């Protein structure tokens, strides 16, 4: 507590600290809620092992949040934007003696989040929130942002890593997973569609969130969305990364590490609700070809995450935290089963749009 208080004291905005307590369920950064005599704040230690360029990441967030604030100024909306505060150095973060990066940002009062989509209405409103995020940033100069994680959703990069891991077989696990390897390779060429469209200039780079889970949307007590949070992965990308990952996380009928694959499928009603909300905000800014490939993007992003889990399993579980030896393999199987469910429902997914 005393060490954290000393860190908070480096931010002039925060005065008269009463308490600092762990907050949230994030797995990357260390997050705390700071209570003062007059206000509440969020204190975070940014994981610089994951985010190598914290200064660039911070600059992205400041630029994007200031732009969003300008867009919302004078409008009749309950939507809010997270605000970063400067440390006494004049920067938006503080470096401690151990080389850690700390930041302080505003706390969104009267807010709540969901870890799971509970009904169509939440899926619809989540879609609207992410759609509004995209729409408001459609005029932002995307070339002024840096990549906070290089090649984050680059399918060529992910496939190359996978094939190198299969060839090296460092943990001696390749022989036991022929079906999973076959699944990856059968779909590999098809999964390059979005990347090819982007390289050919058919779809534009946009400001993308890149972590569009339901718990990164805050709701008020009336059940309305008020803020999109967790902006560490905001960077240039294709709209399909945001739509696809949202469908992957919003619509899965099972947990990410469910061992009974019969429980895994895509909830088409949640898909419909999210798509309706998302397009209600974005249809005026997206091109025809961007909209055309939104359903496919759900398969792409689910495939990529499964591929990453499988690669980590082959490499001996060096990236993701695991609770048992087959954990990453189980996670990969869930994502691949979800891809199969999407493939079976794909004509209906396209029809919705």
Domain boundaries, the chain: 2-106, 120-352
Q: What is the pLDDT of residue 227?
A: 96
- Is there a contact between 242 and 212 (Cβ–Cβ < 8 Å)? yes
Q: What is the dihedral angle through the alpha carbons of 110, 80, 226, 150, rounded to the nearest 10 degrees?
A: -120
* Non-local CB neighbours of 332 within 8 Å, separated by 6+ positions: 180, 306, 307, 309, 310, 313
> In the structure encoding, which two tokens stand for residue 93, read together?
């973060």
Q: How far apart are CA 23 and CA 352, in angstroms?
A: 38
Helix ranges (DSSP H) in the chain:
2-8, 54-72, 120-136, 155-168, 178-187, 193-199, 239-251, 268-282, 288-292, 294-315, 327-344, 346-352
Q: How far apart are CA 193 and CA 200, in angstroms?
A: 11
Q: What is the pLDDT of residue 203?
A: 98
Q: What is the pLDDT of residue 125?
A: 97
Domain 2-106 has CATH 3.90.1150.10: no
Q: What is the pLDDT of residue 26?
A: 65
Using the Cα atoms of residue 189, residue 192, residue 196 and residue 202 in order, give the sign of their dihedral: positive
Superfamily of domain 120-352: Aminoglycoside phosphotransferase (APH), C-terminal lobe (3.90.1200.10)
Q: What is the pLDDT of residue 2?
A: 83
pTM: 0.94
Q: How far apart are CA 331 and CA 308, in angstroms?
A: 10
* Non-local CB neighbours of 111 within 8 Å, separated by 6+ positions: 218, 219, 220, 226, 227
pLDDT tens for the chain, 353 residues long, are 788 999 999 999 999 999 999 987 666 788 999 999 999 999 999 999 889 999 999 999 999 999 999 999 888 888 999 999 999 999 999 999 999 999 999 999 999 999 899 999 999 999 999 999 999 999 999 999 999 999 999 999 999 999 999 999 999 999 999 999 999 999 999 999 999 999 999 999 999 999 999 999 999 999 999 999 999 999 999 999 999 999 999 999 999 999 999 999 999 999 999 999 999 999 999 999 999 999 999 999 999 999 999 999 999 999 888 999 999 999 999 999 999 999 999 999 999 98
Q: What is the pLDDT of residue 208?
A: 97
> In the structure encoding, which two tokens stand for residue 137, read together?
């940033």
């Amino acid at each position: 507590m005393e060490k954290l208080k000393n860190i908070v004291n480096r931010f002039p905005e925060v005065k008269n600290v009463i308490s600092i307590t762990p907050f949230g369920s994030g797995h990357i950064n260390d997050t705390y809620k700071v209570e003062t005599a007059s206000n509440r704040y969020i204190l975070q230690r940014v994981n610089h092992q994951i985010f190598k360029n914290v200064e660039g990441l911070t600059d992205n967030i400041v630029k994007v949040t200031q732009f969003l604030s300008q867009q919302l100024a004078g409008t009749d909306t309950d939507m809010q934007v997270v605000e970063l505060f400067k440390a006494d150095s004049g920067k938006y973060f503080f470096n401690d003696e151990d080389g850690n990066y700390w930041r302080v940002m505003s706390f969104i009062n009267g807010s709540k989040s969901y870890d799971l989509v509970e009904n169509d209405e939440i899926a619809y409103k989540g879609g609207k929130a992410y759609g509004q995020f995209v729409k408001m940033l459609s005029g932002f100069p995307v070339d002024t942002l840096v990549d906070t994680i290089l090649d984050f959703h680059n399918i060529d990069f992910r496939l190359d890593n996978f094939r190198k891991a299969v060839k090296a077989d460092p943990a001696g696990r390749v022989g036991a997973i022929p079906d999973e390897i076959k699944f990856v390779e059968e779909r590999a060429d098809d999964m390059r569609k979005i990347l090819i469209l982007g390289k050919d200039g058919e779809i534009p780079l946009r400001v993308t969130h890149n972590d569009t889970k339901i718990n990164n949307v805050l709701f008020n007590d009336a059940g309305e969305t008020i803020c999109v949070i967790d902006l560490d992965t905001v960077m240039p990308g294709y709209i399909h990364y945001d739509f696809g990952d949202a469908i992957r996380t919003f619509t899965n009928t099972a947990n990410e590490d469910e061992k009974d694959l019969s429980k895994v499928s895509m909830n088409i009603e949640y898909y419909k609700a999210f798509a309706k909300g998302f397009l209600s905000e974005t249809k005026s800014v997206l091109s025809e070809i961007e909209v055309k490939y939104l359903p496919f993007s759900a398969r792409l992003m689910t495939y990529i995450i499964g591929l990453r889990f499988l690669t980590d399993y082959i490499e001996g579980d060096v990236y993701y935290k695991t609770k048992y030896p087959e954990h990453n393999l189980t996670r990969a199987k869930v994502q691949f089963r979800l891809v199969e469910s999407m493939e079976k429902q794909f004509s209906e997914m396209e029809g919705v749009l």
